[in-house]
Amino acid sequence: MKILNEDEAGQLSPLGRGKNTNVRIWLAKLEVGKTLVIEKGKDWVTKSPPYFTVRRYAKRSGRSYKYGRLANEAGWYVTRVG
C-alpha cells in the first residue's frame, strides 16, 4: 500500500462503479475531429472488440463516432464526428 499526497491523488482517474471503463472515460474527453487509438492487450484486454462500449456511450451521450479496426491488427480506432 502507499499513501499519496495531494498532488499524486489529483492525478488518479478513478473508474467508479458500474460500466465505467477507461475507454468510456477517454470517449467522454474526446473532442470533435480527434481520434482515439485503443491498443489490444494494453487498453482493451477482452477478446471482443470495444464496439459495444462505443455504441452504448454514443447512444447515451448523443454524440456520434466513427470506429473500426487498425490495419496492423494492433487495436482499434475511434474518431468523434459530432
Grid coordinates in use for 48? Answer: 471482443
Spatial contact of 32 and 81, defined as CB atoms under 8 Å apart: yes
What does the block give as the cell for 68? 473500426
pLDDT tens-digit map of 26-61: 898 899 999 999 999 888 888 889 999 999 999 999
Q: What is the pLDDT of residues 4-27, one digit of tens each?
A: 788 887 777 665 565 667 888 889
